[in-house]
Amino acid sequence: MSSVTEPTTAVGKTADYLDDRLSLGTVIKQFGRKVFPDHWSFMLGEVALWSFVVVVLSGTFLTFFYEPSMAHTYYDGSYAPLKGAEMTVAYASSLDISFDIRGGLIMRQIHHWGALIFVAASGLHMLRVFFTGAFRKPRELNWVIGFLLFLMGMGAGFTGYSLPDDLLSGNGLRIIDGMIKGIPVIGPAVSSGFFGGEFPGTEVIPRLYSLHIMILPALIIALLAAHLLLLVIHMHTHYPGPGRRDDNVVGYPLMPVYVAKAGGFFFLVFGVIAAISALFTINPIWNYGPYDPSPVSAGTQPDWYIGWLDGALRLAPGGLDVAIFGYVIPMGVMLPIIVSLVFLVLVAVYPFIEAWVTGDKRDHHVLDRPRNAPTRTAIGAAGVTFYAVLWAGASTDLIAIFFQMSLNHVLTAMQVLLVIGPVIAYWVTKRACLALQRKDREIALHGRETGRVVRLPHGEYIEVHEPVDKYELWKLVDFKDYEPIMPRPNKKGKITVGTKLRSAISKIYFEDRIAPVSKAEYELAHADHSPAIEESAKRKPKQLKKKL
Amino acid sequence: MNPQKPMRRRPWALGVVIFLGLILSGGGYAAATQTFEAEFGSPEQVEEGRKLFLANCASCHGTNGEGAIGGPSLIGVGAASVDFQVGTGRMPGQASGPQLYKKPVQFTEEQIAAMAAYVASLAPGPAIPPEEYLRTDGDPTHGGELFRINCAMCHNAVGAGGALTEGKFAPALDGVTEKHIYEAMVTGPQNMPVFNDANLTPEDKKDIITYLKYVEENRSVGGFELGSIGPVAEGLFTWIFGLGFIIAITVWLGAKAN
């Protein structure tokens, strides 16, 4: 670069100096020309990223004042109803951050609201990726990385929730302790190792602190880097539309459009989190008091992202414990653990399951409209329902009191819903998708109903249909259609169990599919309905009638 | 010569003794009646209470407060119980169910006092608490600790209320008067256990009242408290308002570019 003309301005000289040494030009040329398509749903992952940045910034501030120690002390800060109370140094320093350190409370609230929004935005981003099929080849591994990021987010959140060592967080830890102890054979030893003896011990807060400020953030940052690197290596996906293909990306370049947009967006996200934190209190630890293993407050719940696990514990039916050689396996704990692990594994490996079922090995950069993958969308809806019922299960007590219902009835209703809810959601979603696809077909073939009814000269009434324009049409007809796979014998002439299973699942996926409108169908339909249907109606009423 | 008789032998001494005796016994009786009436109500008040009781309560609690199909016996529940149940509007009950709700108070203070006096006259029971334990100048730290140990599992750490089994519930405690909080502790209304003076001394009760009144009056340290019901409200707020607002921004940004 520098060999062409020597730069004359100060900025130019600096840029030239850096480029000669760091080869910045190449990076910026490559990276700056990366094209991002425009759609609001593509910004959800970005919301997660920016809220994570906010959480890191505010968390750094908190580390300056928080003391992860379970040593005992007597509170001597400004909050009157705790003055003189015996508590751990961790809780006392959290109270000091809230009451006696300038800006401490707003930072704590920004940190906590930001964390809730971080995990929520990650979850929403995952749902967007799932329902649009963005996890298909070549992005399966990035889906898994994203899934791990979500898990790490939950872990970082939970460890942070436990740090203030107030009554609420201690109750949460006690539940985790109970779950660990419920695992057969290894449980008690694992619990004892984690807590450094019998719960609560004197070790757990410093250990959680190491996890919370070092190990988990480091893992999140490493996974985030891999996630973003893969995002750059793969092209960005885009929604189906005119000119959008699997070998291009339609959008704006990173430089300067998206750098400006994303930079501005960071401040908007930060602003929203800060505004919420300034107006609404979160986790008022002073209300809960110091942790003491005996009291448990009503309305003790985990933060939202752990809620579904708490719900699983609450909804597990009683009386299922089994004893093996006199050792009781507590199913009230094991059942929720098994169910939630199976659910998590299914979420993590779904891209591989779908790739196996479709047998599709091609790259996909054009997203699916959810209706065009009815079975996937239905599975997603069933999964969301399952998660949502578990999630709601964590607040059975609050639902009961706010809607003046019996807690027992709410619990039973949730247990029933957990089983039949996903089935209903699957069925309703699948039918809705198929109906929408049929409607799309109808519109592609016959145009939109205009609501204008015309009387033909021979007395017949017809409604004028307006054909869709070509841009709109593209969206309606451009999607991949899979057919059920027939079980075929392998080289040895045998049909294996795997092949049969695959064929059976493939049948569930695609047997009632709606095929996209083919060119032949389109032309046939439009041979009848000329765009100027009225004119033809005027000219040749008899012929039109016959064809209609 | 006639040595002076001792005072007590003089003729008028008997009259004085009788006079003094009458004054003492009569005055003492009058004083005793007054304390009795202050504590248990005058006979007129008890009678007035009995009439009110027969007209408003007897169909469930029996004509002599002995209890019936619809309601428990009131013998021995004391004045505090009546003052709490009727004074918070829970009684007379609106409808039978797992638990009675608060509603507008149906009687005047005099009428409530009369009914309380009548029920107290049936058998000894917890009395209406004296003023000295209803002031909020106790120790809020001690009160908070006692509250978390004894009350928070049902009423929530700041008294926001909570659910119990089969439609029963622990109500929210904000806006409840000091007297009613105290009476609830000593009488254990509806599904609440009794916290008698051996369990929580009157000073302990006063500390708890002090704590509750402190958190009621000094709540919003960090902003709007979303009902003080903990992480469920925070999670809902995150999804509906936090993410809702941010998604509105993403839609706005996405739309501008088109």
Q: What is the DSSP string of A65-105?
A: T------EEE--SS-GGGTT-EEEHHHHHHHHHHHTSTTHH
- The residue extents of the domains of chain B are 43-122, 131-220
Secondary structure letter of residue B193 according to DSSP: P
B232 interfaces chain A, CB cutoff of 8 Å = yes
Q: Is the pLDDT of residue A539 over 70?
A: no
pLDDT at B256: 54
Q: Which residues have CB under 8 Å from A76's CB, separation 6+?
A: A83, A84
The pTM assigned to this predicted structure is 0.86
A82, A273, A297: residue with CB nearest B156: A297
Residue A404: list chain B partners with CB under 8 A.
167
pLDDT at B258: 47
Secondary structure letter of residue B219 according to DSSP: -
Q: Which helix (H) or strand (E) holds A254?
A: none
Single-letter code of the amino acid located at A401: I
CB count within 10 Å of CB A150 equals 21
Is A304's CB within 8 Å of B249's CB?
A: no
Model confidence pLDDT, tens digit, residues A226-241: 999 998 888 888 888 8
A522 interfaces chain B, CB cutoff of 8 Å = no
Per-residue pLDDT band at A214 (split at 50, 70, 90):
very high
Model confidence pLDDT, tens digit, residues A193-211: 999 998 888 999 999 999 9
Model confidence pLDDT, tens digit, residues A370-410: 999 999 999 999 999 999 999 999 999 999 988 988 999 99
A192 interfaces chain B, CB cutoff of 8 Å = no
Q: Which helix (H) or strand (E) holds B112?
A: helix B109-122
pLDDT at A67: 95
A81, A276, A396: residue with CB nearest B141: A81
What's the count of helices (H) and strands (E) in chain A, helices before strands? 22, 8
pLDDT at B254: 79
Per-residue pLDDT band at A540 (split at 50, 70, 90):
very low
Superfamily the domain B43-122 falls into: Cytochrome c-like domain (1.10.760.10)
| Topology of the domain comprising B131-220 | Cytochrome Bc1 Complex; Chain D, domain 2 (1.10.760)
Same topology, domains B43-122 and B131-220? Answer is yes
Q: Work out the average pLDDT over A341-351.
A: 96
| Full DSSP string of B35-84 | HHHHHH--HHHHHHHHHHHHHHTHHHH-TTSS--SSS---TT-HHHHHHH
Is B238's CB within 8 Å of A117's CB?
A: yes
Is B149's CB within 8 Å of A408's CB?
A: no
Single-letter code of the amino acid located at A470: K
A414 interfaces chain B, CB cutoff of 8 Å = no
A215 interfaces chain B, CB cutoff of 8 Å = no
How far, in Å, CA of A179 to CA of A184, rounded?
A: 10
SS3 A86: strand
Q: How far is CA A15 from CA A5, A7, A18, A19, A32, in A?
A: 13, 9, 5, 6, 15
Determine what percent of chain A is predicted with pLDDT higher than 70: 95
Size of interface A-B (CB pairs under 8 A): 202
Single-letter code of the amino acid located at A41: S
Q: Which residues have CB under 8 Å from A62's CB, separation 6+?
A: A97, A104, A107, A108, A111
Residue B141: list chain A partners with CB under 8 A.
80-85
Least CA distance to A295: which residue of chain B? B149
Single-letter code of the amino acid located at A17: Y
Q: Is the pLDDT of residue A3 over 60?
A: no
Please identify which residue in the block is written with the tokens 């930072």: A107
Per-residue pLDDT band at A257 (split at 50, 70, 90):
confident
B169 interfaces chain A, CB cutoff of 8 Å = yes
Model confidence pLDDT, tens digit, residues A482-537: 888 888 888 888 888 888 899 999 998 988 888 888 888 888 877 755 454 545 44
B100 interfaces chain A, CB cutoff of 8 Å = no
- For A117-180, strand residue ranges (E) read none
Instruction: Provide the mean pLDDT of chain A.
Output: 89
* Helix, strand, coil percentages, rounded to 5, for chain B: 60, 0, 40
SS3 A65: coil
pLDDT at A308: 95
How far, in Å, CA of A120 to CA of B163, rounded?
A: 27
Determine what percent of chain A is predicted with pLDDT higher than 90: 57
What ipTM does the predicted assembly reach?
0.84
The tokens describing A337, both together, are: 């653990």
A490 interfaces chain B, CB cutoff of 8 Å = no
Residues 271-290, chain A: which have Cβ within 8 Å of B? Answer: 272-273, 276-284, 286-289
Residue A301: list chain B partners with CB under 8 A.
230-232
Per-residue pLDDT band at A344 (split at 50, 70, 90):
very high
pLDDT at B3: 58
Cβ contact A380:A127 at 8 Å: yes
Give the least confident one: A148-162, A340-354, B32-46: B32-46
In tens digits, chain B (258 residues) has pLDDT values of: 555 667 777 777 778 878 888 877 777 666 655 555 555 678 888 889 999 999 988 888 988 888 888 888 998 898 899 999 999 989 888 888 888 888 899 999 889 999 999 998 888 888 888 888 888 888 999 999 999 999 998 998 888 888 888 888 899 998 899 999 999 999 998 889 999 889 999 999 999 999 999 988 887 788 888 887 888 999 999 999 999 999 999 998 877 554
